[in-house]
């Protein structure tokens, strides 16, 4: 089976060897406060920042998942109210989890065809101290292009880049908090999340002073200063991330490949398939179409039939998600997938 599922997704094939190495060299049993482990963690952060061009003064923290970061932000970085812009299931879930901790937090939903700039125009964000954006909405295959200057300067900007980080260039300085889980664009097994914070975010955390939880951001930072973590971490996950980051091209090269492949996928679904069926690219506005998750809509029947046929040919595609559960399918356009596999899937779809 070749998987094009948009998370958990295909892992880099080298992971097989890295797992053997981890077992052989004792990484799996390392104490997380031992010198070896602390050095490995420091090296992983270094290569991660280097390959992704993360600014020197932004800090990288390892946590368990993107979902955990939603909670850390609500606990440690929102003073009174966050405002969440969302157009799909993941953005909405982030809002809902936040509201359980901060009932004042509010959501602004928008249509999948809309740009965020057109949505911001009519909103008053004066009382928001943090803006939440889902950079790549994995449930419907949309992306958000934004700049800091689109929002009031007093707001912190937090960006869920779970299904784009590692696949496309991200303009780090345009936001204060970025995060992802590793089982999407980073091509690794699930069980590790990455949180990246600007100096402004850390300053705000100090001002707010939350220290109530095991994963309060200030407590996390204190541990990372010593190259340690706030709990026994997924040492294997961190090790694998370090090995994969060492092996991959810098993000600007990966970005070019991702965008070229995305263009080909959209062209493919507009020409080849659509002519003979009612299948259609879900997002019509090219400005908001995702580069990393390709979503195609159609009748419930056509979609179910297609997924079954493609499965029989040896491919797993992503089912629809949330509102689009039964009338769409999704294809991961993640870097661990090869040109050969894409050509094979295109052949099968034809």
Chain positions contacting ligand PLP, by CB under 6 A: 7, 65-67, 90, 134, 138, 160, 162-163, 181, 184
Nearer to ligand PLP, 130 or 349 (CB): 130
For 184, counting Cβ atoms within 10 Å of its Cβ (0-12 exposed, 13-18 middle, 19+ buried), the class is buried
Provide, rounded to whole angstroms, the least separation between the CB of residue 333 and ligand PLP: 13
Whether the CB-CB separation of 271 and 38 falls below 8 Å is answered with no
Q: How many residues does the chain have?
A: 350
Minimum gap (Å) between residue 193 Cβ and ligand PLP:
6
Q: Which of 340, 337, 321 is nearest to 134 (CA)?
A: 321
247: tokens are 């092996």
Under 8 Å CB-to-CB from 203, ≥6 apart: which residues? none
* d(C-alpha 238, C-alpha 43), whole Å: 10
User: How many CA atoms within 13 Å lie on the side-chain side of 125?
Assistant: 23
Nearer to ligand PLP, 66 or 248 (CB): 66
Q: How far is the CB of 139 from ligand PLP (least distance, A)?
A: 8
Alpha helices (H) along the chain: 15-24, 35-52, 66-76, 89-101, 116-120, 199-208, 217-225, 235-247, 251-268, 300-312, 339-349
Q: Which is nearer to ligand PLP, 98 or 138 (CB)?
A: 138
* Minimum distance of ligand PLP from residue 271's CB (angstroms): 28
SS3 at position 344 = helix
Question: Which DSSP category does 276 fall into?
Answer: G
The least CB distance from residue 67 to ligand PLP, in Å, is 3
Q: How far is the CB of 238 from ligand PLP (least distance, A)?
A: 15
Of the pair 15, 273, the CB lying nearest ligand PLP is at: 15
Nearer to ligand PLP, 69 or 248 (CB): 69
Q: Which is nearer to ligand PLP, 30 or 179 (CB)?
A: 179
Q: How far is the CB of 237 from ligand PLP (least distance, A)?
A: 11
167 CB-contact burial (10 Å; exposed 0-12 / middle 13-18 / buried 19+): buried
Dist. CA 239–CA 184, nearest whole Å: 17
Which of 18, 90 has the CB closer to ligand PLP? 90
Least separation in angstroms between residue 95's CB and ligand PLP is: 12
Q: Closer to ligand PLP at the Cβ: 181 or 328? A: 181
- Max CA distance (Å), the chain: 61
> Side-chain half-sphere of 27: how many Cα atoms within 13 Å?
22
Closest separation between CB of residue 178 and ligand PLP, Å? Answer: 12
Answer yes or no: are the C-beta atoms of 30 and 44 closer than 8 Å: no
**66/158 with CB nearer ligand PLP:** 66
């Amino acid at each position: 089976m070749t998987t094009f599922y948009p998370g958990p997704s295909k892992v880099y094939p080298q992971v097989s060897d890295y797992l053997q190495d981890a077992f052989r060299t004792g990484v799996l049993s390392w104490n997380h406060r031992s010198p070896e482990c602390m050095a490995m963690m420091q090296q992983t952060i270094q290569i991660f920042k280097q390959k992704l061009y993360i600014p020197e003064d932004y800090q990288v923290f390892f946590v368990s998942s993107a979902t955990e970061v939603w909670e850390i932000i609500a606990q440690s970085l929102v003073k009174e109210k966050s405002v969440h812009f969302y157009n799909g299931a993941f953005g909405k879930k982030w809002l809902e989890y936040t509201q359980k901790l901060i009932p004042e937090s509010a959501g602004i939903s928008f249509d999948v065809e809309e740009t965020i700039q057109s949505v911001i125009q009519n909103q008053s964000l004066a009382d928001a101290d943090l803006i939440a954006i889902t950079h790549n909405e994995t449930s419907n295959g949309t992306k958000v292009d934004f700049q800091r200057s689109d929002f009031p300067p007093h707001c912190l900007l937090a960006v869920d880049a779970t299904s784009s980080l590692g696949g496309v260039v991200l303009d780090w300085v345009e936001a204060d908090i970025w995060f992802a889980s590793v089982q999407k664009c980073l091509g690794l097994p699930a069980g590790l999340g990455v949180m990246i914070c600007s100096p402004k975010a850390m300053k705000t955390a100090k001002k707010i002073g939350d220290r109530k939880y095991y994963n309060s951001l200030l407590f996390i930072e204190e541990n990372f200063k010593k190259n340690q973590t706030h709990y026994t971490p997924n040492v294997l996950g961190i090790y694998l991330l370090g090995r994969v980051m060492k092996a991959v091209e810098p993000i600007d090269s990966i970005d070019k490949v991702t965008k070229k492949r995305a263009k080909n996928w959209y062209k493919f679904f507009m020409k080849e398939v659509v002519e003979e069926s009612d299948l259609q690219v879900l997002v019509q506005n090219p400005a908001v179409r995702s580069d990393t998750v390709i979503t195609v809509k159609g009748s419930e029947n056509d979609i179910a039939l297609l997924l079954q046929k493609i499965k029989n040919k040896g491919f797993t595609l992503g089912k629809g998600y949330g509102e689009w559960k039964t009338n769409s399918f999704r294809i991961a356009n993640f870097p661990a997938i090869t040109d050969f596999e894409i050509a094979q899937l295109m052949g099968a779809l034809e």
